């Protein structure tokens, strides 16, 4: 499972979805889905823009988490 840390990063930098959307041109809906971790696919261009904007490597935005077997 892929975990997106956008909400945590935005909180640390005191950013709003509207700020990022305005500054990068990334669709608000896309950002909202990433923020809420409901996105099922994201363009590589969007990931690159987010990492550039937040000045972070991809590994800080996304993390692979192992699924646990119950």
Tell which phi-psi region holds residue 37, choosing left (phi > 0), alpha (psi between -120 and 50) or beta: left
Q: pLDDT of 9-61, one tens digit each?
A: 999 999 999 999 999 999 999 999 999 999 999 999 999 999 999 999 999 99
- Residue 7 vs residues 28, 49, 66, 69, 70: alpha-carbon distances, Å: 14, 16, 20, 27, 27
Q: Comparing C-alpha atoms, which of 34, 31, 23 is closest to residue 62?
A: 34
Angle, alpha carbons 57-34-28 (nearest 5°)? 110
- Predicted model pTM: 0.88
CA–CA separation, 24 and 21 (whole Å): 5
What CATH number should be reported for the domain whose range is 2-64?
1.10.260.40
């Amino acid at each position: 499972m892929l975990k997106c840390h956008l909400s945590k990063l935005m909180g640390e930098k005191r950013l709003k979805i509207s700020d990022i959307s305005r500054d990068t041109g990334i669709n608000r809906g896309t950002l909202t889905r990433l923020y809420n971790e409901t996105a099922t696919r994201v363009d590589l261009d969007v990931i690159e823009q987010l990492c550039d904007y937040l000045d972070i490597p991809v590994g800080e935005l996304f993390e692979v988490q192992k699924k646990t077997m119950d």
